């Protein structure tokens, strides 16, 4: 049964990139609706417990929760924008660098980093340089998309680090509904300020937005959160890396995206480096943002 759930979860998160890239809606609108719909779906299930737990957070706890939610909003805003500007394969590989950013932030905070992890980070960075070099030769738009995806990886790392502190005090469900709700509100403000269209979409686009919510938010990361009860965080983090080739394959099948061979070479280097980082770094909670 757990193997079946793993397959469902990986397919769910892998589908998010192609679905968002193929949706004919502004990036900020897609980011808003997937969080808003995710909050609406989760809230009735966790409301009784969340109401009690969140009331005990205190000022510092709420400050950290709001920071995490804003970082999550920036993550979605930059990553979905990247999917509109560069290939799904490149954007997904770049945003997966969040694992590297977590290690670098931990090192900046004084934690020791094993040499093997430094080697893995270096290999992943070489992969990033390969992909950005290839995309630079194609267009400035593709390179900008790569850089936005990297920012998405950094903000996802900050979201994960802040969220891990809050989750020491409240359940995953309570934290998730609070964070997704604040994230959706933040993105709604951004949409209003930027005068982004929020509702006038085709039926196909609405199906893609609902599909992202179901696949990534509910069947993807919610199932992975459930599997944390029976699998180690390190294994979950390793399984999440399958999103990179999974998204590339689905984008090739359904969006007819065939990036240059250099992008796939860079993707392979990033994956190899991230595998080393995940396996060799000290145990920590996996990133379940996308």
Domain boundaries, the chain: 2-280
Tokens encoding 113 = 């980093």
* pLDDT at 187 (0 to 100): 98
Q: What is the mean pLDDT of residues 89-107?
A: 90
* pLDDT at 233 (0 to 100): 58
d(CA 94, CA 127): 9
**Taking the C-alpha atoms of 120, 165, 40 and 59 in order, what is their torsion angle to the nearest 10 degrees?**
-150
Q: What is the mean pLDDT of residues 57-79?
A: 94
* pLDDT at 91 (0 to 100): 94
Sign of CA dihedral 170, 285, 80, 76: positive
Q: What is the mean pLDDT of residues 154-159?
A: 92
* pLDDT at 208 (0 to 100): 95
Tens-place pLDDT, residues 203-257: 999 999 999 999 987 888 778 766 756 776 567 777 778 888 999 999 999 899 9
Tens-place pLDDT, residues 163-207: 888 878 888 889 889 999 999 999 999 999 999 999 999 999 999
* pLDDT at 284 (0 to 100): 56
**Given a cut of 70, is residue 285 above it in pLDDT?**
no
Model pTM above 0.85: yes
Q: What is the mean pLDDT of residues 59-86?
A: 95
Cβ within 8 Å of residue 70, ≥6 positions away: 182, 183, 186
* pLDDT at 165 (0 to 100): 86
Instruction: Classify burial at 52, counting beta carbons within 10 Å of its beta carbon; exposed 0-12, middle 13-18, buried 19 or more.
Output: exposed
DSSP 142-185: HHHHHHHHHHHHHHHHHHHHHHHHHTTTS-HHHHHHHHHHHHHH
Give 149 or 170, the one with higher predicted confidence. Answer: 149
* pLDDT at 164 (0 to 100): 82
* pLDDT at 225 (0 to 100): 64
**Given a cut of 90, is residue 149 above it in pLDDT?**
yes
Give 280 or 83, the one with higher predicted confidence. Answer: 83
Tokens encoding 110 = 């004084």
* pLDDT at 290 (0 to 100): 56
Tokens encoding 170 = 């409240």
Q: What is the mean pLDDT of residues 43-67?
A: 91
Residue 131: which of 99, 86, 101, 98 has the closest Cα? Answer: 86
* pLDDT at 236 (0 to 100): 73
* pLDDT at 232 (0 to 100): 64
Give 182 or 51, the one with higher predicted confidence. Answer: 182
Q: Which of 226-230, 269-273, 276-280 has the lowest mean pLDDT?
A: 226-230
Average pLDDT over all residues of the chain? 89
d(CA 162, CA 69): 9
Give 57 or 71, the one with higher predicted confidence. Answer: 71
Sign of CA dihedral 268, 270, 273, 275: negative
d(CA 267, CA 93): 6
């Amino acid at each position: 049964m757990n193997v079946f759930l793993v397959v469902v979860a990986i397919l769910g998160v892998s589908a998010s990139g192609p679905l968002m890239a193929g949706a004919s809606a502004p990036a900020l609108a897609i980011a808003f609706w997937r969080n808003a719909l995710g909050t609406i779906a989760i809230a009735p299930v966790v409301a009784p417990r969340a109401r009690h737990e969140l009331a005990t957070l205190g000022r510092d706890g709420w400050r950290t929760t709001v920071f995490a939610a804003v970082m999550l909003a920036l993550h979605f805003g930059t990553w979905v924008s990247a999917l509109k500007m560069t290939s799904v394969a490149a954007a997904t590989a770049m945003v997966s660098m969040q694992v590297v950013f977590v290690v670098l932030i931990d090192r900046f905070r004084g934690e020791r980093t094993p040499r093997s992890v430094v080697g893995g980070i270096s290999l992943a960075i070489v992969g990033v340089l390969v992909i950005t070099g290839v995309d630079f030769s194609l267009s400035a738009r593709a390179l900008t998309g790569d850089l936005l995806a990297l920012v998405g990886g950094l903000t996802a790392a900050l979201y994960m680090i802040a969220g891990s502190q809050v989750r020491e005090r409240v359940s995953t469900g309570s934290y998730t509904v609070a964070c997704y709700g604040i994230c959706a509100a933040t993105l709604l403000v951004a949409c209003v300020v930027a005068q982004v269209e929020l509702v006038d979409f085709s039926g196909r686009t609405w199906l893609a937005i609902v599909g992202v919510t179901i696949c990534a938010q509910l069947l993807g990361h919610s199932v992975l959160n459930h599997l944390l009860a029976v699998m180690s965080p390190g294994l979950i983090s390793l399984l999440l890396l399958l999103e990179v080739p999974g998204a590339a394959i689905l984008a090739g099948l359904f969006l007819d995206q065939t990036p240059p061979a250099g992008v796939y070479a860079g993707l392979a280097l990033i994956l190899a480096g991230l595998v080393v980082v995940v396996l060799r770094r000290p145990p920590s909670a996996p990133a379940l943002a996308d």
